[in-house]
Every structure is written in structure tokens, then in C-alpha cells.
Amino acid sequence: DAGITQSPRHKVTETGTPVTLRCHQTENHRYMYWYRQDPGHGLRLIHYSYGVKDTDKGEVSDGYSVSRSKTEDFLLTLESATSSQTSVYFCAIRSGTNTEAFFGQGTRLTVV
Amino acid sequence: GENVEQHPSTLSVQEGDSAVIKCTYSDSASNYFPWYKQELGKRPQLIIDIRSNVGEKKDQRIAVTLNKTAKHFSLHITETQPEDSAVYFCAASQGFQKLVFGTGTRLLVSP
């Protein structure tokens, strides 16, 4: 494994509640990404980070925010969870712009 | 921004046949093109990648070709085996920006 851990691995939450997913790396990689995976849509980029406090939006960022206060941690927050945010969320890290991305184990989030 | 299209969405082959998956990208500045394999319930893992200064790359039964003029790249798997059954994703990356994935191809290799 590439030293990347996601927590929690599974979560069930109610509509309207805030949820935070954590991605932790021990590789000191500069770039970190959050994706969601849904059937028929592949891996869609939510937000990414290219350094501490440097983040940018991906293709499906509405309803999500992120923070990166330390190199090793990248947090994804759903301010008010909706059923459409039920998905599997993957974090990924990479050291450079044309290098391999390593994925975490994924977090299965269910919003009821 | 970058957009990556991937075809086909599903592909069924007999063991020993070849399989080809194709992707197109929109941003001509993209310079890195990885392919990932995802087995059921697991995380995506890199199987091969190619950079924009190379036209073809091989690794045993797997090869990737890149046509920068046409903005498309392809994954070729020869002598397929049942353990090749999985979902395959292509992706494109430009500069220090996003890594954008295609929608995936479900490959089924029948014995």
C-alpha cells in the first residue's frame, strides 16, 4: 500500500446532517484528490489540492467543501448531506503531475 | 477543462482473445495518460501509463498507444485471461492540474 488511509470506511447518515471524510497520507505527496464513484459515471473529481491550503474544484464540487491544513490530511465535508451524495468516495495522492496516483480503500457513504 | 470519453462501456471476449479499449481527451495540453484496473470491491490500481513524448508502451500482455494529433489513446490486452476481468479506467492529466477519468469499461473474459 502507498501509505494512504481513508476514514471512516463506511458511514450511514441522515439527510441534512454534516459529514466529514478524512484522507491521511504518510508519503508527503504534494497532490491529493477526492473522487466519487457511481455506476455508469466512473470516477468523478470533486476537489483536489496541490499544496497546503491550495485547493481547487473538480467537475462535481457542488455541495462539497475541502480543507488541507497539513500536507498529510485532506478533508472532504458535505455541509448538509443529500441522498444524491450516496456514493463510494475515493481519495488519491500523487507526488508529481505526470506520476502514478495511488488510491485509498474508499469510503462507502449512505445518506438516508 | 479536460473531458475524457471512454468506449466501450462493456466488453466481452473469449479467453485468449485480444481486448481494446479506447479513450479520447479534449485538452491538447494533457501530457500524462494512465490506465487503471479496478476489481470488484477494491481500489483502482495503475496497470500502465504513457507520457505525451511517447507513442507506444508495452508491459508483457498490456500495451498503450497514444495519438496526440487525434487526441486519443488506447489500451490493448493480448491473450486475455479470466483474471483480466475487471473495470478499466483511462485518465488524462495536464500540468499540475486535475487527473480526469473516463467512465470505465467493464471487461469480461470468458473461459
**What residue in B sits closest to A99 (Cα-Cα)?**
B32
Measured over the CA atoms of residue A49, residue A50, residue A56 and residue A59, the dihedral's sign is negative
Contact (CB, 8 A) for A31 and A94:
yes
Residue B104: closest CA among B17, B16, B33, B22: B22
Q: How far apart are CA B91 and CA B33, in angstroms?
A: 6
* Per-residue pLDDT, A2: 67
- Evaluate if residue A56 carries a pLDDT over 90: yes
Kindly report each contact of residues B60-63 with a partner whose C-beta sits within 8 Å and lies 24 or more positions away, as own/partner.
B62/B35
Q: How far apart are CA A74 and CA A24, in angstroms?
A: 7
Cβ-based contacts of B9 with chain A (< 8 Å): 40
* Per-residue pLDDT, A107: 98
Nearest Cβ partner for A42 among B51, B93, B103 = B103
Q: Is A105–B100 a contact, with Cβ atoms under 8 angstroms apart?
A: no
* Per-residue pLDDT, B95: 62
- Evaluate if residue A65 carries a pLDDT over 70: yes
> What are the per-10-residue average pLDDT scores of chain B (111 residues)?
91 98 93 95 95 91 96 97 97 80 96 92
Cβ-based contacts of A105 with chain B (< 8 Å): 43
Q: What's the N-to-C CA distance of chain B in angstroms? A: 41
| Helix or strand (DSSP H, E) at A10 | strand A10-13
* Per-residue pLDDT, B52: 86
Q: Find residues 34-93 of chain A whose CB sits inside 8 Å of chain B.
A: 35, 40-45, 48, 50, 56, 58-59, 90, 92
* Per-residue pLDDT, A1: 60
Residue A35: closest CA among A81, A90, A82: A90
Does B100 lie at the interface with A, CB-CB under 8 angstroms? yes
For the stretch A9-27, pLDDT in tens is: 999 999 999 999 999 999 9
